[in-house]
């Protein structure tokens, strides 16, 4: 199915969260199955889940959300972003609020599945730590794993500042969607993406401005602010996240295997697997993501938590 058809199948809708100061945008692919909520990586958008959603919508009511500051999610009047770093706890609390709203709407006690990629995976982990009863299962796709604050030395600070600075320099506008796609297709960053994923990004990740040009829905300034707000106590969150979890580590990604294994081992019910892809897994190998989720859903309770994994840096 082409990207346009995938997006056209979904209902575009919003959930108002006045207590959170945002109106969260969703793509709702419908279906009679139990609800599955998908959360994207920093700087991206809900539409990039389209290729994964296509593989799941026969089994789930698939919904993908835009994080605050991203995509079509809007701040409510008087609650606009003030330019400060986005604390990652806020993103986890948004996932909880969206999950609560969907459970009330669909009259279910819990979401059958929550899937998060990169910082979205970290947000899903934080949500499951806060409200484990809200999720029957969670899947974390190469989640970002910042060290605890007490171990965040000068190298960590320099690394975060470097990522934020690169984000600020990211190109944000083009004369047209076609020219944006051509420009992205020539960048090494997108070389491993499925063509359909790039098409989804062009269609859902850009908005048309009053002057006729198109621009990123997630501005470089917001992406940088998210990187700058990434101080978390992931150890405690991992220990408190009790839903059965599938933790997928990207073999061609940038994160230390040992540190991911260590965090997964702290979870009461986690299965740890590696996946043959780079960090941008849903855009590179959506087929492997779907296969892994299906195995996980069909496999009963996950294996015992990992033990004895050495801590990485």
Q: Which residue has the tokens 């020219």?
A: 179
pTM of the entire structure?
0.93
Can you state the angle between helices 195-204 and 177-185, rounded to 10 degrees?
A: 140
Listed by start position, the domains of the chain span 3-298
Q: How sure is the predictor about 31, in pLDDT bands with cuts at 50, 70 and 90?
A: confident
pLDDT of the residue at 159:
77
High-pLDDT (> 90) share of the chain, %: 86
Cα angle, residue 251 at apex, residues 111 and 151 outer, rounded to 5°: 80
pLDDT of 214-223, one tens digit each?
Answer: 999 999 999 9
Q: How sure is the predictor about 38, in pLDDT bands with cuts at 50, 70 and 90?
A: very high
Average pLDDT over residues 5-14: 98
CATH architecture label of 3-298: 3-Layer(aba) Sandwich (3.40)
pLDDT of the residue at 65:
98
pLDDT of the residue at 150:
60
Residue 308 above 60 pLDDT?
A: no
What are residue 288's phi and psi, to 5 degrees?
A: -70, -35
Query: To the nearest 10°, the Cα dihedral for 45, 60, 272, 238?
Result: 70
pLDDT of the residue at 231:
80
User: For residues 255 and 145, is the Cβ–Cβ distance under 8 A?
Assistant: yes
**CA-to-CA distance for 252 and 116, rounded, in angstroms?**
18
User: For residues 47 and 40, is the Cβ–Cβ distance under 8 A?
Assistant: no
User: For residues 34 and 108, is the Cβ–Cβ distance under 8 A?
Assistant: yes
**Region of poorest pLDDT, from 26-40, 147-161, 233-247:** 147-161
pLDDT of 115-132, one tens digit each?
Answer: 999 999 999 999 999 999
User: For residues 99 and 134, is the Cβ–Cβ distance under 8 A?
Assistant: yes
pLDDT of 139-191, one tens digit each?
Answer: 999 999 876 666 556 776 787 888 899 999 999 999 999 999 999 999 999 99
Work out the burial of residue 123: count CB atoms within 10 Å of its CB; fewer than 13 is exposed, 13-18 middle, 19 or more buried. Answer: buried
**CA-to-CA distance for 110 and 88, rounded, in angstroms?**
23
Q: Which residue has the tokens 């015992």?
A: 304
């Amino acid at each position: 199915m082409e990207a346009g058809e995938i997006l056209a199948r979904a209902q575009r809708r919003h959930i108002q969260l006045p207590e959170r100061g945002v109106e969260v945008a969703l793509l709702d692919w419908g279906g009679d199955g139990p609800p599955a909520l998908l959360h994207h990586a920093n700087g991206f958008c809900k539409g990039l889940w389209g290729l994964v959603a296509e593989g799941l919508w026969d089994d789930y009511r698939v919904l993908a959300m835009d994080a605050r500051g991203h995509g079509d999610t809007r701040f409510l009047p008087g609650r606009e972003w003030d330019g400060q770093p986005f604390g990652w706890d806020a993103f986890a609390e948004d996932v909880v609020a969206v999950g609560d709203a969907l459970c009330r709407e669909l009259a279910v006690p819990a979401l059958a599945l929550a899937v998060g990629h990169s910082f979205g995976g970290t947000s899903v982990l934080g949500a499951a730590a806060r409200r484990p009863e809200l999720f029957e299962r969670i899947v974390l796709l190469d989640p970002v794993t910042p060290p605890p604050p007490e171990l965040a030395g000068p190298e960590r600070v320099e690394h975060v500042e470097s990522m934020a600075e690169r984000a600020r320099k990211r190109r944000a506008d083009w004369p047209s969607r076609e020219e944006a796609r051509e420009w992205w297709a020539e960048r090494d960053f997108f070389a491993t993406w499925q063509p359909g994923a790039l098409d989804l990004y062009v269609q859902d990740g850009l908005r048309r401005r009053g002057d006729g040009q198109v621009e990123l829905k997630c501005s470089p300034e917001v992406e940088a602010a998210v990187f700058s707000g990434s101080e978390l106590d992931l150890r405690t969150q991992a220990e408190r996240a009790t839903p059965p979890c599938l933790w997928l580590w990207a073999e061609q990604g940038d994160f230390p295997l040992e540190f991911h294994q260590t965090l997964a081992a702290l979870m009461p019910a986690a299965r740890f697997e590696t996946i043959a892809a780079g960090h941008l897994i849903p855009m590179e190998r959506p087929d492997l993501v779907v296969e892994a989720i299906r195995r996980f859903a069909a496999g009963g309770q996950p294996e015992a938590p990992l033990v004895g994994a050495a801590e990485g840096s």
